[in-house]
Amino acid sequence: MVPPSGPIGPDLELAQHLFEELLTLTGRAGGITRDSYGPGEQTAHVIAATAAEAKGLEIRRDAAANLYITLPGRDRAAPMLLMGSHLDSVPYGGNYDGAAGVVAGLATLAGLRRANLSPAVDLTVMAIRAEEAAWFDASYVGSRAAFGLLSAAEIDGIRRSDTGRTLAEHMTDCGADPVALRRGEGFLTPDRLRCFIEVHIEQGPVLEQAGIPLGIVTGIRGCRRYRNACCTGSYAHSGAEPRAHRRDAVAATVALIGRLEAEWIALEAGGHDLTFTVGELYTDSAQHGPSKIAGETHFVLDFRSLSDEIMRHMCDRAEMLAAELGSAYRVTFDLGIPLLSAPGVLDANLRKHFAAAASARGVAAIEMASGAGHDASVFANLGVPTGMIFVRNAHGSHNFEEAMDMRDFAAAAHVLFDVISEGAVT
């Protein structure tokens, strides 16, 4: 960096303004809705781009309508340092999930510009599209598209959960170019990236319960999810059908879940990293009743781990148990094909620099794994040195009760600023 001539640090006033504007323009009764490739996400991108242009930063967009905000470096041909996160949300989510990373990056660039610091290489904030799978039932749409990794089948075949329209149609509405994406044209390549850094709220209780403001993420759990699993039996009278003749879909499904829960407990006791969740479980409301044996269930099986081997093991066990219990209960399970997002191991060198920067500022930070998926895993699995900083957040995530304290955010933004401005990764 060229020596500074002004106050040094992230522009926290800008950060506060951006969070307030996002809340005002994308909030509604019950929560924040920044729908992927919809009006909410589009509004957030306009807010970020407008703020960046006001600070004299460069703006670019790729074929997927991802937004890139750049403070130019002295050597523009050198690999860039990329930071950022996503700007979409789940329906009725919170204001900080994803947005905190984009805002932290913008505050960093604005702070560097305010101090007249000239970076050696381009410093770029990426506002990523469609990270949340709630809208298109696909993970990391924007980040994968940036590398040309989004398939034509996904672009034309995936439909948004609320509108029924295709991803291609929604992309077009937001200024993206599905034709270029179908050809596999990528805007980013791993060799052109020095690293990728994502600041994100923690989406669980670890930091809150420990009383620690920051987490330095060691890895991102992958996910193998049976999104549309079902069990088919037969409807019958609850009082007239003997157990030996029943084809009870609920009883069979509960037995499957219980056996998988026992498998999880055993693996956890053996020191393996794993979570198992049944995020949805329901019968057909048009046919079920208080005096009927349920003839069908629909459910989701979600396995997450830092080890792909452990996730594959659980999928194998799910298939074996489904066959065994299907026979025992005289029902048929169809788990479908599991959706996959691979685990991401984060860069040890970046973790070291984050820890040193936090320590120098007297900010407590602990190393921890991320149970939730993040765009950072896409970069890590492509060989890009990748780091994540978690910010303490009360009340979990994916709900309007997210409660990130701005003092904790400021600590994360200062760590990001220090690591970048001191040349640790440039």
In tens, the pLDDT along 300-333 reads 999 999 999 999 999 999 999 999 999 999 999 9
- pLDDT of 394 strictly over 60: yes
DSSP sequence for 149-200: ---HHHHHH-B-TTT--BHHHHHHHTT--HHHHHTT--S--GGGEEEEEEEE
Q: pLDDT tens digit string along 324-360?
A: 999 999 999 999 999 888 898 999 999 999 999 999 9
In the chain, the domains with their CATH numbers are 12-221+344-421 (3.40.630.10), 223-341 (3.30.70.360)
Residue 7 scores a pLDDT above 90: no
Quote the pLDDT of residue 4.
Answer: 46
For the CA atoms of 219, 224, 225, 229, what is the dihedral angle to 10 degrees? Answer: -160
**Distance between CA atoms of 36 and 149, rounded to whole angstroms?**
18
Q: Look up residue 317 and give its amino acid.
A: R
**What tokens does 106 get?**
């913008």
Task: Name residue, tokens 């709630």.
Answer: 134
Q: Which residues pair with 276 in a beta bridge?
A: 303
**Which of 380-411 are b and which e, b meaning 16 or more Cβ less than 10 Å from the residue's Cβ?**
bbbebbbbbbbbbbeebbbebebebeeebbbb
Q: Find the mean pLDDT for residues 232-237.
A: 97
- Over residues 85-114, mean pLDDT: 97
Residue 3 pLDDT more than 70?
Answer: no
Q: Compute how many other C-beta atoms are within 10 angstroms of the C-beta atom of residue 365.
A: 23
Q: In the prediction, which pLDDT does 423 show?
A: 67
Calculate what percentage of the chain has a pLDDT beyond 90.
90
pLDDT at 2: 46
Of 163, 106, 113, 108, the closest CA to residue 134 belongs to 163
Residue 28 structure tokens: 């509604």
pLDDT at 424: 54
Residue 161 pLDDT > 70, yes or no?
A: yes
Q: For residue 425, what pLDDT band results from cuts at 50, 70 and 90?
A: low
| Token output for 271 | 């020191």
Confidence of residue 364 (pLDDT cuts 50, 70, 90): very high
Could you report the per-residue pLDDT of 9-55, keeping only the tens digit for each?
999 999 999 999 999 999 988 899 999 999 999 999 999 999 999 99
Q: Quick one: what percent of the chain has pLDDT higher than 70? A: 97
The chain-wide mean pLDDT, for the chain, equals 95
Closest-CA residue to 333 (of 224, 249, 215, 242): 249
Position 396 scores a pLDDT of: 85
